[in-house]
Structures are given as C-alpha cells and as structure tokens.
Amino acid sequence: MESGDRPWNYSIEFETWVAASQHVNSSIGAKFATTLGLLTKVGRSGFSNNLREGLGLYKYVGGHHIHAKAAFKQHATYNLRNGLSISNPMMKSLGLDHGAMTAFQRRAFRDLNASGAPNSLKAHTQIAVGALQAGGASKGMARTLATQSLLNLRSQGVRFPSNIPWYK
C-alpha cells in the first residue's frame, strides 16, 4: 500500500491472506487461509459474489455479521445483506462458538452504553474483535476478520454506527 493510501481503497491479494493466517494455529490457519484466499474486493459493491460458503456477504453465507448489524440499521447506505459474515458451517469447522460471540457483544454493548463513551466505529471494531476472540478465534484471526468487515462497511459508505445494539 502506498503512503497516504486509505486501507479501504486497495485489493486484498491471496498472499496477504496467507500472511495474515500465520497468526492462526495449525489446521485452523490452513482452513482460514484457504477460505480467505477466495476473498477479493470488488469496487464499491463490497466483496465478490462467488463466495457461497465460509466467509462473504451475509446474503450468500448467513451466519455471524463480524460487526453487529444492528449498529448500522438506521444508516442510510448500510445494507445488512451486504455485511461481511462468517457462515455457521465455517464457524463450526473452525471451532468457533457463535453463542459466545453474541453473549460477548451483548455485554460489551451494555458496557459501552453505560460508560457514556462515544458510540464510534473504533469502539464497535474493538467489540467485534473481542466477540470473535470470546468465540474461540485467535487474536490474529479476529483482527483480520474485523479489518475486512471494516473495509466492507467503508465500501458501503459507513463511517459511523447509527445505534448501540440492544440499547438504541
């Protein structure tokens, strides 16, 4: 990436995913790298629609939105069906616990709401990483997925959350 480039303006190449997957242990890393190797950025429309399993747009893979979809439901340009998600079968194959992720999100958003801290995309990204880790993802995997979800949000024109899930 050139100096001054914004991270949401570049393409993700397979080599980048392989390097990122080195934060993940053994066979999980191999599965993660293989899945992520398929992911390519396609203009402002989000991610390629050839991802029918694993990691991709919610409309194709369902599962868990990396950034909580309820945080953007009133945003003018956000479409939850185009949010980056990890499928239930992929979570199962990686040993990730969707219930633990959701429970962490509920607690973290409750704490954010009670704290009076700004309802920022930075806070939501920290919660996304924490939720993935609570579900069993390594720190590297969680950060990589949250970064890609952030790129997806930015490709949809999202620069801030419209809500604190479960609290507004």
**Structure confidence at residue 155 (pLDDT):** 92
**Structure confidence at residue 60 (pLDDT):** 87
The two tokens of residue 74 are 């009133």
Note the pLDDT tens digit of each residue in 88-98: 988 988 889 99
39 has a pLDDT exceeding 60? no
The model's pTM: 0.71
* Residue 56: strand pairing partners: 85
Note the pLDDT tens digit of each residue in 93-118: 888 999 999 999 999 999 999 999 99
**Structure confidence at residue 10 (pLDDT):** 29
**Structure confidence at residue 134 (pLDDT):** 97
Interval 6-13 mean pLDDT: 33
Distance, CA of 57 to CA of 63 (rounded, Å): 10
